[in-house]
Amino acid sequence: MRIKSSKDFYSGLLFMVVGMGFAWGATDYQIGVASQMGPGYFPLMLGTLLAVVGLAVLFQSLAVETEGSDLIGSIAWKPVCFITLANIAFGVLVGGLPSIGVPYMGLMTAIVAVTFIASYGSDEFRVKEVFILAIVLAALNYTLFIWLLKLRLPAWPVFMSH
Amino acid sequence: MELISHLSIGFGVAFTPVNLLYAFAGCLMGTLVGVLPGIGPPATIVMLLPATYALQPVSALIMLAGIFYGAQYGGSTTAILVSLPGESGSVVTVADGYQMARQGRAGPALAAAGLGSFFSGCVATLVLAGLALPLSEVAFVFGPAEYFSLMVLGLIGAIILGSGTILKSVGVVLLGLLLGLVGADVNSGVARYTFDIPELYDGIGLVVIAMGIFGYGEIISNLGKHESERKVFSAGFKGLMPTREDFRNMVPAVLRGTLLGSALGMLPGGGVTISSFAAYAVEKKVPLRKGELPLGTGNIRGVAGPEAANNAAAQTCFIPLLTMGIPTGAVMALMLGAMMIHNIQPGPMVLTRNPELFWGLIVSMWIGNAMLVILNLPLIGLWVKLLTVPYRWMFPAIVIFCAIGVYSITNNTFDVWIVSLFGILGYVFIKLSISPAPMVLGLILGRPMEENLRRALVVANGDWSVLFTRPISATLLAIAALLLIIVLSPSLRKVREKAAAQG
């Protein structure tokens, strides 16, 4: 059997796995009956339905001829990693990790870090340019969020505030 | 007469300097982000949401509505000038708008889009104001069975009117519904799918998921592509004003577009995109007058009709949300999310409990439309310049905006971890050609659907036929079934496929 649309094949697979996961998880909760629905009733129903839809999509991808190859294409690993990393860095720097005693470093530090990490995910990384961009963005966000909108965000590292 | 007194309440609220300022700021920021290709209205709204957290609820909603229209409008500007539709509602505008621009008639094309949108926006605002009261009274006779069926209809509508294949959209809606169930069950208090993580007890925030899927997913996908040459249009404008002949062609097209858009916008599914496609299809059928260019080669009707339609639909799609509390599309789901952040539960009660908010929002829609005309026509040069800003400067700013937005909802880093996960999922969706918009709708309807179904079945003693024996509920389900049948008919399928291929 040949996969005729790999996009649909993996979509179907994704739906099936997630649907079965939810349905299986629902069996941990009380299911109940229609007149007395337990917490597991609705998710079990939806999960099963999703798995069935996934199966149908999967079947279609194997049976129905599509125009063109409908291939997924290459995966942009570099942006995936660096954008995710930038986001995590933001969380750590602004919120700190109280559970393991990492103090917060404030919004300004986070913006500079995020700008550098995220920019590294693109194909054109120029240190000087990114540096200027980081400063501009820090100033812009300070003006907008801290100064104008007064969001409750720490702007500076914990050791600089009182 | 009642309408006038209501509108005057609205004017009283919206015409305060502060709220005018927020409407202006919303329109400006929305247009600013909306002209950037690849960032549609949902992404624009989630990105700019944090800017409204600190405001009063009324001001926040006025600003958000402004952002939405601005995003909508910015999309058509770039569609005409550089053949890059900023959002799916202006995909058809490219055909004639860009041709007109190439013939040196960018000015009249932009003016047609602007004036057509303004006119249709005014009409649609009146439709909204007029229909709001009667419809919210209908909502009071709705029982759980009716609400459940209405939500089914809403989801089917979103599946049908959205882009993407039907089966995959069904899947993604179900996925959204399931994700919406994460957290403590209202009835039993059982924590579902929380993996013992306390932050998940209240469920996963809509904004968090939307931010990941629309914001980060799109950034990753854009970075993965090779930088395509942007065809920035540099030839000067020969004046903005359309000629007399242009007006003669444009006016009927605007009227037809307004009518179509107002009607289609109210449908579940929030037919902004589909209404512009439908308007274009209608204009194509209308016989050409003497000396008129055929559609697709720079006919002003091909710009005016769809633009009027999508703007009218953008207004009337607020009707189900404001009167019934049921969002019909991703953008409306986000508006609902924003309202809930400000502790407003939309629905028939808003009208009676919070009339200032309701009518203020409606009047501000009209103000927003007027501002867009005033704002956009003179500032077109600026928007075009914005397109020349390289993406490598733009995306770090977007990442930061999204991160601040997510973090500042609850000041909890947990949301930041979750958004990373959904960013990756958003990229997976793009790679698999799964349209994410219906998922957002499912996400917000998951809990209310379960709750209403549960209550309906308790009353009916577990008899599912209650959904088909109560007349309103049966009618709603019949409409849903009818929609499914219509969409599988060949003629509409073509329109949908075209929409899916281009947007």
Higher per-residue confidence, B495 vs A59: A59
- Can you tell me the distance from the alpha carbon of B35 to that of B75, in angstroms, rounded to the nearest whole number? 5
A100 and A54 both lie in a single domain = no
Residue B338 in tokens: 């924003």
What is the separation, in whole angstroms, between the first and last Cα of chain A? 68
How long is chain A?
A: 162
A59 and A105 both lie in a single domain = no
What does B412-431 look like in DSSP terms, one character per residue? -HHHHHHHHHHHHHHHHHHH
A15 domain-assigned: yes
Host H or E run for residue B183: strand B183-184
Count CB-CB contacts under 10 A for residue A67: 6
Residue A10 in tokens: 């993996």
Q: Does B396 touch chain A (CB under 8 A)?
A: yes
Residue B85 is predicted with a pLDDT of 64
Residue B177 is predicted with a pLDDT of 93
The mean pLDDT of B82-110, rounded to a whole number, is 76
- Rounded to the nearest 5°, which phi and psi values hold at A110? -60, -40
Contact yes or no for A137 and B461 at CB 8 A: no
Q: Which of A63, A95, A111 is the last residue of a domain?
A: A63
A104 and A142 both lie in a single domain = yes
A71 domain-assigned: no
Taking the mean position of all CA atoms in its chain, how far away is CA B161? 12
Tell me the per-residue pLDDT of B383-421, one tens digit each, with 9 for 90 and over: 767 767 777 887 888 888 888 878 877 778 888 899 899
Residue B289 is predicted with a pLDDT of 77
A94 and A53 both lie in a single domain = no
A1 domain-assigned: no
- Can you tell me the distance from the alpha carbon of B254 to that of B120, in angstroms, rounded to the nearest whole number? 7
Torsion of CA B199, B204, B210, B216, to 10 degrees: 40
The mean pLDDT of B116-130, rounded to a whole number, is 88
Tell me the per-residue pLDDT of B481-493, one tens digit each, with 9 for 90 and over: 888 887 776 666 6
The mean pLDDT of B312-337, rounded to a whole number, is 82
CA-based angle A26:A30:A31, to the nearest 5? Answer: 70
The mean pLDDT of B1-12, rounded to a whole number, is 78
A49 and A103 both lie in a single domain = no
Q: Give residue B216's pLDDT band: very low, low, confident or very high (50, 70, 90).
A: confident
How far is the CA of B175 from the CAs of B147, B164, B371, B436, in angstroms?
20, 15, 39, 10
Non-local CB neighbours of B427 within 8 Å, separated by 6+ positions: A76, A80, B216, B217, B220, B221
> In terms of residue numbers, what domain contains B6?
2-502
The mean pLDDT of B112-118, rounded to a whole number, is 87
The answer to whether the beta carbons of residues B480 and B153 sit under 8 Å apart is: yes
Contact yes or no for A36 and B458 at CB 8 A: yes
Q: Does the interface ipTM go beyond 0.85? A: yes
A40 domain-assigned: yes
Q: Does B461 touch chain A (CB under 8 A)?
A: yes
A91 and A114 both lie in a single domain = yes
Residue B135 is predicted with a pLDDT of 79
- Can you tell me the distance from the alpha carbon of B314 to that of B30, in angstroms, rounded to the nearest whole number? 14
A110 and A52 both lie in a single domain = no
A102 and A147 both lie in a single domain = yes
Report the gap between the CA of A11 and the closest CA in chain B (Å): 6
Higher per-residue confidence, B85 vs B175: B175
A90 and A154 both lie in a single domain = yes
Nearest to A49 among B174, B223, B404 (CB): B174
A50 and A24 both lie in a single domain = yes
Residue B29 in tokens: 């920021």
> In terms of residue numbers, what domain contains A51?
6-63
- Can you tell me the distance from the alpha carbon of A23 to that of A53, in angstroms, rounded to the nearest whole number? 13
Contact yes or no for B216 and A83 at CB 8 A: yes
Q: Is the dihedral of CA B153, B159, B160, B162 positive or negative?
A: positive
Of B202, B237, B198, B172, the C-alpha closest to B377 is: B237
The mean pLDDT of B170-175, rounded to a whole number, is 92
Instruction: Count the domains in chain B.
Output: 1
The answer to whether the beta carbons of residues B52 and B236 sit under 8 Å apart is: no
Residue B216 in tokens: 């980060």
Instruction: Count the domains in chain A.
Output: 2
Residue B232 has pLDDT above 50, yes or no: no
- Which A positions 47-106 lie with beta carbon below 8 A of chain B? 47, 49-50, 53-54, 56-57, 60, 72-76, 78-80, 83-84, 86-88, 90-92, 94-97
- Rounded to the nearest 5°, which phi and psi values hold at A98? -55, -30
Q: For a pLDDT cut of 70, what percent of chain A falls above it? A: 94
pTM for the predicted model, two decimal places = 0.79
Contacts 24+ apart (CB under 8 A), B341-348: B341/B53, B341/B207, B341/B409, B342/B57, B342/B60, B342/B61, B343/B57, B344/B57, B344/B61, B346/B321, B346/B322, B347/B136, B347/B139, B347/B323, B348/B136, B348/B137, B348/B139, B348/B140, B348/B323, B348/B324
Q: Does B388 touch chain A (CB under 8 A)?
A: no
A57 domain-assigned: yes
Residue A1 is predicted with a pLDDT of 62
Three-state DSSP class for residue A124:
coil
A115 domain-assigned: yes
Tell me the per-residue pLDDT of A79-111, one tens digit each, with 9 for 90 and over: 889 889 999 999 888 888 877 878 888 888 999
